[in-house]
Chain A
Amino acid sequence: MNTTPLKMVVIVAEPVLESRLVTELRELGAKGFSIVEGRGEGSRHAHATDLPGSNVRIETIVRDDVADRIMEHVSQHYFANYSFIAYVTDVAVARGAKYV
């Protein structure tokens, strides 16, 4: 099967950030995303789980340059003050045109 190499950006963040992040991902060039709620703890345990609600995990499959822009953007705006994880992985997708 023919697949296209792309990037998947995964963000795990506090629930209050969800709607803002979704808007920003669209603006930065993401064509779509999936969101799941989850539980977990990290280095800032006390911060992250203080507010009611579950953390959200947002996944979006994008072109390399969009992935770069997203990582740049979130590291500037969120890392300092929020419980926030962001990483990029290589993916191979079917129907690559859907994502670019």
Chain B
Amino acid sequence: MNEILRVNLLSPIALAFVLGVIARVIRSEFSLPKEIYQGLSIYLLWSLGLHGGVELAHAAFSEIVRPAGVTLLIGCITPISAYLTLRYLGRFGEADSAGIAAHYGSVSAVTFIAASTFVKGMGAEPEGFMPTLLTLLESPGIHIALAIGVVRSGQKSRPTSELLHEVLTGRTMVLLVGGLIVGFLIGDKNWKVIEPFYDTKGAIFRGALCIFMLEMGLLAGARLGDLKKVGPFLLAFGIIMPLVHGALGAWLGSVAGLSVGGATMLGAMAASASYIAAPPAVRMTLPDANPTYYLTLALAITFPFNVLVGIPIYYKIAQMAHGVA
């Protein structure tokens, strides 16, 4: 386990993230231009979708059914477990509990990418259809948590159709789902032509991810000051909740027949907290939830925890569930 952790902590992805945090802490003037950050995130998501679609074309439908079912189940469990923990153990208000739960119910695509890079580096090739599972997990969690918040806090809700539109047409969904479909349709011959650029195991993809992680470090570093504001309960929540969800995901994934690599990635997905799709949705639907809580948790606690320590732990759990460790 120590060896896996060491390998992960010394990976270029983890160190790029740490450098970003340090740059912000020492108040360096360095920052990634917004356009480059957005451009990289488009490239990463689009590559993930395309490559996933190509792999999906090789998968049999019967291989996907059980993992997909388990993924949807996780999408229903994680927002509820997060909500109940915050509301009844942490004694937070309805809006804050539901708002934070929406973030934990949804997925952080960057954590997914980091997990994918990690397991491939460990030689545990995940199933090609993992991006399909990511798209399945993206939306139910947000909706379940927001629905709880709206119902329990008696707020005037905005129309469900508006919220659905926002979550389902977001950048992540369009690039991932669109990429999956395009990748599925183009066939191996066309894929070979563009593979060097879009290969998610390739040098270009991983190099781009390193630059992206610098910016993630800057974002997380900017929120370090807010750690004081969130209090000890949320600090602990931001680490323990992902451990619980990650263990559940890695175990359920293994039970559903995913390989060690695939189960690790499902664990990382379940453990992660969204910070792209969820924040605007929560801001609009539960405006009295405090953004400092959910943004600090997702960006400054859970994301670094997962990328630096969590993913190797989920890997270990997946190995144990497979009886290979």
Q: Do these two chains interact?
A: yes
Residue of A whose beta carbon sits closest to that of B291: A50
B246 adjacent to chain A (CB < 8 Å): no
Contact indicator A81/B295 (Cβ below 8 Å): no
Residue of B whose beta carbon sits closest to that of A47: B291
Contact indicator B280/A46 (Cβ below 8 Å): no
Contact indicator B287/A82 (Cβ below 8 Å): yes
A20 adjacent to chain B (CB < 8 Å): yes
Which residues of the partner chain A approach B157 to less than 8 Å between Cβ atoms?
none
A94 adjacent to chain B (CB < 8 Å): no
Contact indicator B291/A51 (Cβ below 8 Å): yes
Please indicate which of the listed interface residues A14, A46, A52, A82 has the most CB atoms of chain B within 10 Å of its own CB: A52
Closest chain-A Cβ to B234's Cβ sits at a distance in Å of 15
The interface size of chain B toward A, counting residues with CB under 8 Å, comes to: 9
A1-49 residues at the B interface, CB under 8 angstroms: 14, 16-17, 20, 46-47
Name the prevailing secondary structure of the A interface residues. loop
Which residues of the partner chain B approach A81 to less than 8 Å between Cβ atoms?
287-288
Contact indicator A51/B283 (Cβ below 8 Å): yes
Which residues of the partner chain A approach B283 to less than 8 Å between Cβ atoms?
14, 16, 51
Contact indicator A16/B284 (Cβ below 8 Å): yes
A50-70 residues at the B interface, CB under 8 angstroms: 50-52
Could you say which of A20, A50, A80 contacts B284, with CB atoms under 8 Å apart?
Answer: A20
How far apart sit A17 and B295, CA to CA, in the bound complex (Å)?
A: 18
How far apart sit A52 and B280, CA to CA, in the bound complex (Å)?
A: 9
B292 adjacent to chain A (CB < 8 Å): yes
Residue of A whose beta carbon sits closest to that of B229: A46
How far apart sit A20 and B295, CA to CA, in the bound complex (Å)?
A: 23
B279 adjacent to chain A (CB < 8 Å): yes
Contact with A along B268-296 (1 / 0, CB 8 A): 00000000000110011001100110010
User: Mind listing 13 A-B residue pairs with CB under 8 Å?
Assistant: A14-B283, A16-B284, A17-B284, A46-B292, A47-B291, A50-B292, A50-B295, A51-B280, A51-B291, A80-B287, A80-B288, A81-B287, A81-B288
